[in-house]
Structures are given as structure tokens and as C-alpha cells.
Amino acid sequence: MLPPDEPTAEIACTVNGEAIHTQVPLRRSLVDWLRHDVGLTGSHVGCEHGVCGACHVRVDGQVVRGCLMLAVQADGATVETIEGARDPLTLALQDAFFHHAALQCGFCTPGMILQAAELLAQHPAPTRAEVREALSGNYCRCTGYQPIVDAVMAVSAILPAK
Amino acid sequence: MTHIGQPLPRAATARLVAGRGSYLDDVSARGELHAAFLRSPYPHAGFRITGTAAASALPGVVAVLTEAELAAVCQPWQTKTGSASGMVSPTQRALAKDAACYQGEPIAMVLALSRAVAEDAAELIEVEWQELPAITNLALALHVDAPPAHQGLTSNLAWSTEMKGGDIEAAFAAATLVVEDRLVFTRSTGVTLEPRGVLAQYNPASQALEVRISHQMPHQLQRHLADLLGVSLARVRVICPDVGGGFGLKMHVYPDEIAACAAARLLGRPVRFVADRAEALLSDIHAREHIVEARMAVDAEGRILGFDVQDVQGLGAYSIFPRSSTTEGVSALRSLGAPYRFSAYRGRLRSVLQNKVPTGQYRSVGHPVGIAVAERLVDLAAAARGEDPLEFRRRNLVAQAEMPWVNPLGARMAELSHQQCLAKLEALLDLPTLRNEVATMRAAGRCIGLGFASIVEFTATGPEGYGRAGVLVAAVDTVVLSLEPSGEVTARASISEIGQGTTQGLAQVVADAFGVAPDQVLMGSGDTATTPHGGGAWASRGAAIGGEAAWGAGRKLRAEVLAAAAALLQCAAEALDIQDGHITDANGPRMSLAELAETVTFRGYELPTGVQPQLTVAHHYRREQDTALTTNGFQASLVEVDPDTGIITPLRHWAVGDCGRLLNPLLVEGQVRGGVVQGIGEALFEACRYDESGQFLSGTLADYLLPMAGEMPDITVAHVETPYSGSVLGAKGAGEAGTAGAPAAILNAVNDALAQHGASVSELPITPGAILRALGRLA
């Protein structure tokens, strides 16, 4: 329930292909709004200060930190979360992460996969070092990163060269 | 056995990659209130809350609570353990009373319709603070003039002990070489990517408390909630959903979590508390703050004679409940030198109270400290003797023929494979070639170092560990299996899942013990209402203890099913088998498990009189010997030091380990690599820093540095498999060895690099500044 007096604004945007028109508290971050108000809990909140990458979502096709953007800033935007990301790269990465055990607790995984998908979309044949560099804005505390790099490289290996 | 030992992915991760997990903060309760805490800004201060009216008046605020209100429903607690008898252990409360003893200690809480409003209101609580002298610096805390960490204390020494065996004076008198060093370990913390959090609901009509919490051991917490909140144990339900990282951090009793449960009890409404990152760093347990002065005696043949060690351990403001922070110090001393043969040991531990966040058990408890100290001394001895560090180790490792061997501390070393692990490591490294590469890089002016660490880890603690100390921590586990009418098996385990993959390993064990594919075994854990009481996730115990319970349960269910099938098929049970979901005899499948279960469940009249198949069975496992299971291994690290910037780059890392039978090598290797990187973080980056006045300086992830993908090397992992002979499966602990050995390997590698410049370091984490100071390039 919204506290009385909480300042809000009206926004209209598309989330995972669905049009939403609603009031949002001015100070609510995009990821909090997606999680708590829209009910899309696949994006996670790890630090709330733009370091860990667990909150990654796509806004107008670009991966952004959901904790550094306010929900009101999504007015007019097309937002996509891990639940709605059905592009072939994301699906292939999800499969590869599963088979390479590229996750343990899984809290970082949705953000990591969206970031990896963006990398492969722009750069289909990265080196291991380039994968590591591209994922350095996403913290994983469990895997030591190596199986994540393995999973991304495995998907890269089946992509046509750009 | 067809599934045990297979590298199968953890089934549950299919949900997690799709963003369909269910972590603590993914579920809400209707009518829930959000909690925010007012935490002490001072490391040590008396306080009086003088006004809550402004906070209460803020629209959306439902309650402002202090210790006085919570005292009606919540007892204080005190950490006591027979393992640290006589420990000075200040009373702990959900909200502090009259004085705060570390920066971040909660003193009041606000319950509001949103977290944002609760935070706003917390800032409006009026408090009169009386700042008191604080002690944070470990090196100064035992000085006679040091201010007391709690008012009224005459000393900050909470507990001290001496662990010894053999004649230490004789060992050092006989030595031809004594090496010594002073190593300083800065405290670090677990930083689970999912912060701690709790959603508590109390039903006054049924007097039942339901607590969803991101936690490693639901049953332990159930017990403490019952005791502290005065609710009967069976009316407390603790549910641990998907847990976003544990590492030991989520196994303690935290004031803010208890306060949230107490507030739910007091208000009769659901209360949610989820720590933000700043308060997580300021309230999650810290760990591994030690100053260790150690000496090692060596004879003329290069044999280790003994260790003489003094460890001062920072506890923080309280000894953590229920297991006591002192456990870490004892574990550090126990693990020190454990791979080696020696005849005398003296370890003095002093555990010290400070005005800092309490420390507690964190992945590989104490081992990284003890191993780093011993391995540093071993390298110093090898260097002093002018010999290869691996040759020195090879000579001193306990040989297989000598085992079982009880070391001077009384630790029993059995079924360890030091020599095989070392041989495997040397083969992996291709040592002659690697040494040539190092020489070539050095000739080109690069500052390269190669370091080693030999490891013994004490895993899978049995009932003797905490039970004898009077601490209510379960070291036994139970698995309940049911054959469902579909022919699938549901399993409910007291072992819990925090991402390590234990439940996958257990599913593979059940599959083989019973006779189905692992995907026909649906594992449930982490809920006190559906699983029997047991230990949960700690001390790398899932495979070694939970695995045995799973095996026993699978065999029991198999016997029940075969007896029922024999009755239906009118043959001897001994003539039947269960294979891939079917009951078979010598001629092949006779009936499916689904047919059998349907008959028993829906058409019981088809069974002969007196045949009552138990399609739900339970098996409880308690290890009756060996307080802990020792595991062993080696690590090696290749690093480059930049003498101009002081930056250290880990180039490659190798880990060879023996954790007994591997239930699932894919998941074990994940544990090893993740553990190694956590250890590299501890060695190079991670530090909970305080300034001299006690202000915490590491409150964001921009200040508390975690290892990132771009900085970490690929890690080569290999196994030696020496099954534990005292159990059916032979598994030992695997989850922490990576963390145990990595700091030592990194420290030795960096010092190997610095040795070319006649320099060395002995403080973790090894910062660029420390490198530059060691090289004389920075004052």
C-alpha cells in the first residue's frame, strides 16, 4: 500500500510487450517498481548503487542498471526483463548457463545473462579476456566467473560470425 | 551406481536462469509493514531516545519501537559455549539498551507502509548521544590504557586459551633453523549478493510464528526464535526459500532479524526487513581479523619440529550467537601446519572485544588464516635452506604409511593423499616448463612469482563439535522419501540448499539407492514444516552427512517397494530389482513404479492381508566416529606484480583436492573455483576498514572491493579421490577448501615475486600501497 502523501507521477510504458499506464512514486527505482509493483521479480537488487549488476534490465533495447534509473524515467520506454527476454541469444545463454553450471545461488544470473547477450549481439566472437572485461560490471560471488565465461564462449561458438 | 559421480547440472537452476527463482524479497504478504532501523552512528556511545513523536507522525508510519517495547516479547541473549568456557560475553538484544557498542548496532526501528517512509521516519527519531571512547584497533585493544569496548569491562580480553602438545621448549632447543613472521589479517566479510532479509508473520489466534528468511539453517533458527520470542518450537515455522548466497554469513542470529520477528509478534502484522547494501556491510558478520606471531622450528635435515604461535583475534562487540566467534580462532590454530609431521605445538589464542561489527563463522572458518601462516613459514624455511619450496613440503607431509596419525593438537589425520595431490599438481603445472617460463618472464624484466599452499581442512563436523560444548547446533540429518502415485519420488531433506548444489547431489544419491533417474527425484529442503530437524548448510556437510541420510532413505524405500512388489507378483523380493523406474526380474520389467504406487495408494485391497507397504520412509544419519572429516589438497598461484603501481595480477591458479568420493564433479569444481576466487579476494582486495575513531569506511561496493571477472584467472582443478572409509558413500566436505588455501598461495606467490627485489609482505589483503612500501617506492 502506498503511504499517504507519497508524491507520484503518471507513466505509460511497455513492459515485456504489455502496455502499462499507472502512477508511480517519484522516488521509486525502476527495478523496485518492476519487482514490487509490476510483479516481475527476476531482476534482483544487490547493491542499489550501480556496482553489482544484479538489477540489469533492457530499456529501449539497451541494458541498464535498474537501480540507477527511476521508474518515472521509463515513461514512454520499452522495458524488457529476464522474464520477457525471449530473443535467441538470451535463450541460448540461459541453456548454456544451465549446462555449464555457470550459476550457483543464481542471484546475479539474470543480470549477467542480459549483459552477456548484449555483448554477443554486438561482438559475436569475443575472446575469453573480452568476455571477462564485458562482464566486469556484474558481480558473481559464487562461481569464480570461469564457468560463466565458458557458457558465453559456448554460445559464441555456435553464432554465425558478424 | 550410475548417477553418483556424474557431472549433472543442478536441476533447480533451470528456474534461476529464467528469472523464476523465489528469493526472500520476491514474495510479499498482504498487509505487510516495512522495517527500517535507526543504527548507531558511533562506534561506542551511551544513548537515550528522547522523542519518537515526529517519526510516528509521518504519514505512513505505523509504529516506532525501541528496546523497551520489544522487551515485552523478546528475551535478550548471550553467547555461551563449553568450547570457550569463561568467555566474557556481553548480553545481546534485538535493539540496544542504553549503549551502542559498534557503529551500525540497531537502537530503534520504524514500521511503515513503505521502506522509504520507514527510513525517513528513522531519521526523525530524537536521540541524545553520549559518545564514549571506542577501541577498534586490534593491536591496541589489549593495552592497559585501551578504552573498554563495553562500559564496566576491566579488559577487552574476552577469552584466551592455549592449545598445545609435545615438548615445545625441546623442539626449539633442538632446532638448527627457526623461522618467524608476524602476519596481519584485515577483517573481510561474505557479501552475499542477496542481502539478508526476513518476512515474519505472527498469528495471535494460533500463537504461531511464520518466518521466511534468507538463511542457511532453518531448524537452528527455529529453535532460537522459539526461545527468544517465547513461542513453542513446533509453532515456529522457518522457511528458507532460494538463498542468494550464504558462505556462513547467513547462519547467525542477527539483532535486526530478531527485531523484525518480535515486531511481527507485537503488532500481529507481517513485517518485512531486507537489508540494503550499506547496512548489510555494516551489520553482516565480519570475519578473520587476526594478528599472528608465529615461529617454526626446523632441524638440520629440514624436518619441521614444532610451531609456536600467538594469535590475537578480533571478535567485534559481541561473540556471535549461537556458535561463538572464538570458533574461528580455534580453527585457525588447529589448521596451522596440519598437513605436516611435527612433534610439538603451542598456540596461544587471545580473543578480543572491540567496538566493531561482530565477527563470525565465514566460509572455511579460520583455515585461511592458519594455512597462510604455516605456508608462509614453510616458504621462509625453504628459502633459508636454499631449497625448493615443494621439496621442503614433500619431506614434511604426513606420509600415507604413517596414517592414521594424531598430531600434537590431538587432530586425527587419516586417509589423506598429500603425496598423490602433490604429484598431480606437479604434473598439472608441468613444473620444469613453468619454471622456465617464469625465468624467461623475469629475464624480460617482469616481476613474476609462483606460490604454493598445502591444505588440510576439517569438514563435516559431527555431533561432538558443538554438542559437547552445549551449543544447540544439529550435526545430524534426516531425509524423508515418498513414492508418489506417479512413480516419482519426493524427498525432503534437513540439509539445505544455498546454491552449492547439495540437493542435486542428494537427488543423484537417492536415484542410485532406490533405482530411478535423478530427474524423478524432487528435492525439498529449507522449511521446518516439511523437513525433519537437522543441520542445514554449514561446515561442508551436505554430501558427507546428508548424502548418507539420502542413501539410507533410498535403500529403505527400495526394500519397502520390493516387498510390496513381491507380494503382488507372488515372487521373492530377492528376485526383484528396481531399474530406471521399473520393478524388474531376471527377464526384464514386470511393472512400473507408478503401477505399484497406484495399487498401494488407490487399490490397497489387491495386496495380501498383512502387507502394509511404507511408501514414505525416513532415514536419520549420525556419524559415530571422527569429530570432523579431514580433507587435503594443494594450490598453486602464478602472479605478476607491477613494481610501478603495486598492482598484483593473478595470472593462473591451480587447485588439486581430495574431498573423498565426488558425488558430482561439475558441482564440486564449481565449489572449488568459487572458493578460490573468494580466497583471492581476501588476499588481494577485500577489507572491512575502520578509521582510528571507529568509523566504518567500507560501506559500499565501491569501497569494499570484490573480485571481478576481468581480474580473475582461469583456475585448473583436479581431484584425487580417497573415499572416507567410515561411511557408505565415502564423501567428505568440498565447499570450502578453495577458500582455505587460496590466500596462502597468493601470499607466497607475491612474496616469491618480491623476493627478487629483496622485499616481502605479510599483511592481507596485499594492497598496491603495501607492495610499493615493501619495494621502498612509497614512504
- Does the distance separating the beta carbons of A142 and B245 come in below 8 Å? yes
* Tens-place pLDDT, residues B605-624: 999 999 999 999 999 999 99
Distance, CA of B254 to CA of B283 (rounded, Å) = 8
* Tens-place pLDDT, residues B230-281: 999 999 999 999 999 999 999 999 999 999 999 999 999 999 999 999 999 9
Which has the closest alpha carbon to B283: B62, B97, B37?
A: B37
Grid coordinates in use for B22?
523465489
Which has the closest alpha carbon to A85: A109, A123, A117, A131?
A: A117
Largest CA distance in chain A: 55
Q: Radius of gyration (Cα) for chain B, nearest Å?
A: 27
Tell me which chain B residue has its CA closest to the CA of residue A5: B59
Window B:23-52, CB contacts with A under 8 Å: 23, 25-26, 28
CB-defined contacts A:B, below 8 A:
190
Q: Residue B674: which of A44, A104, A129 has the nearest Cβ?
A: A104
pLDDT value for A133: 98
Contact of B584 with B578, CB cutoff 8 Å: yes
Min Cα separation B611/chain A (Å): 44
A162 confidence band (pLDDT: 50, 70, 90)? low
* Tens-place pLDDT, residues A95-127: 999 999 999 999 999 999 999 999 999 999 999
A94: three-class secondary structure by DSSP: helix
Distance, CA of B262 to CA of B764 (rounded, Å) = 39
| Residue keyed to cell 513461542 | B231
* Tens-place pLDDT, residues B291-341: 999 999 999 999 999 999 999 999 999 999 999 999 999 999 999 999 999
pLDDT value for B68: 97
Q: What angle, rounded to 10 degrees, do the helices at B593-602 and B547-569 form?
A: 70
B501 to chain A, any CB pair closer than 8 A? The answer is: yes
Contact of B362 with B191, CB cutoff 8 Å: no
Min Cα separation A83/chain B (Å): 6
Q: Is the pLDDT of residue A147 over 80?
A: yes
Q: Is the pLDDT of residue B751 over 90?
A: yes
Q: Residue B702: which of A4, A51, A95 has the nearest Cβ?
A: A51
Distance, CA of B664 to CA of B511 (rounded, Å) = 13
Min Cα separation B193/chain A (Å): 5
Average pLDDT over residues B644-653: 98
Q: Residue B19: which of A28, A52, A82 has the nearest Cβ?
A: A82
Q: Is the pLDDT of residue B223 over 70?
A: yes
Q: Residue B700: which of A43, A49, A144 has the nearest Cβ?
A: A49
Q: Secondary structure of chain A: what % helix, strand, coil (to 5)?
A: 35, 20, 45
CATH class of the domain comprising A8-80: alpha beta
Buried b (16+ CB within 10 A) or exposed e, A63-93: bbbbbebbbbebeebebbbbbbbeeebbbbb
Residue B696: which residues within 8 A CB-CB, separation 6 or more? B103, B104, B281, B282, B357, B688, B689, B690
The torsion defined by the Cα of A129, A133, A135 and A138, in degrees rounded to 10, comes to 130
* Tens-place pLDDT, residues B717-735: 999 999 999 999 999 999 9
Min Cα separation A161/chain B (Å): 24
Q: Is the pLDDT of residue B706 over 90?
A: yes
B74: three-class secondary structure by DSSP: coil
- Does the distance separating the beta carbons of A147 and B706 come in below 8 Å? no
Peptide linkage before B358 cis (omega within 30 of 0): no
Residues of chain A with CATH 3.10.20.30: 8-80
Q: Is the pLDDT of residue A2 over 90?
A: no
- Does the distance separating the beta carbons of A45 and B13 come in below 8 Å? no
B706 to chain A, any CB pair closer than 8 A? The answer is: yes
| Residue keyed to cell 527519531 | B125
Contact of B199 with B27, CB cutoff 8 Å: yes
Tell me which chain A residue has its CA closest to the CA of residue B703: A51
Window B:738-757, CB contacts with A under 8 Å: 738
Q: Residue B674: which of A99, A135, A143 has the nearest Cβ?
A: A143
pLDDT value for B1: 61
Residue B279: which residues within 8 A CB-CB, separation 6 or more? B37, B39, B104, B195, B256
Residues of chain A with CATH 1.10.150.120: 88-157
- Does the distance separating the beta carbons of B243 and A27 come in below 8 Å? no
Window B:652-691, CB contacts with A under 8 Å: 666-667, 670, 673-678
Average pLDDT over residues A141-151: 98
pLDDT value for A160: 84
ipTM value greater than 0.95: yes
- Does the distance separating the beta carbons of B25 and A136 come in below 8 Å? no
- Cα–Cα distance list, B576 to B489, B579, B584, B593 (Å): 19, 10, 6, 13
- Does the distance separating the beta carbons of B9 and A103 come in below 8 Å? no
Distance, CA of B614 to CA of B564 (rounded, Å) = 9
Grid coordinates in use for B477?
540429518
Q: Radius of gyration (Cα) for chain A, nearest Å?
A: 16
Q: Is the pLDDT of residue A68 over 90?
A: yes
**Environment class of residue B605 by beta-carbon count within 10 Å: exposed (0-12), middle (13-18) or buried (19+)?**
exposed
- Does the distance separating the beta carbons of B59 and A142 come in below 8 Å? no
Contact of B493 with B553, CB cutoff 8 Å: no
Q: Is the pLDDT of residue A89 over 80?
A: yes
* Tens-place pLDDT, residues B33-65: 999 999 999 999 999 999 999 999 999 999 999
Q: Residue A108: which of B25, B193, B246 has the nearest Cβ?
A: B193
Q: Is the pLDDT of residue B548 over 70?
A: yes
Q: In the CATH hierarchy, which fold is given to the domain comprising A88-157?
A: DNA polymerase; domain 1 (1.10.150)
B9 to chain A, any CB pair closer than 8 A? The answer is: yes
Residue B302 DSSP label: S
Distance, CA of B482 to CA of B490 (rounded, Å) = 5
Q: Is the pLDDT of residue B356 over 80?
A: yes
Distance, CA of B37 to CA of B95 (rounded, Å) = 9
Q: Secondary structure of chain B: what % helix, strand, coil (to 5)?
A: 30, 25, 40
pLDDT > 90: percent of chain B: 99
pLDDT value for A3: 85
Distance, CA of B418 to CA of B498 (rounded, Å) = 30
Chain B residues with CB under 8 Å of A6 CB are 60, 114, 116-117
Peptide linkage before B485 cis (omega within 30 of 0): no
Task: Enumerate domains of chain B plus CATH numbers.
Answer: 27-132+195-283 (3.90.1170.50), 286-463+625-774 (3.30.365.10), 476-621 (3.30.365.10)
Chain A residues with CB under 8 Å of B59 CB are 3-5
Tell me which chain B residue has its CA closest to the CA of residue A149: B709
- Does the distance separating the beta carbons of A4 and B25 come in below 8 Å? no
Chain B residues with CB under 8 Å of A129 CB are 710
- Does the distance separating the beta carbons of A136 and B708 come in below 8 Å? yes
DSSP run (H or E) holding B178: strand B177-185
- ∠ CA B350-B370-B711 to the nearest 5 degrees? 120
* Whether pTM exceeds 0.90: yes
Q: Is the pLDDT of residue B503 over 70?
A: yes
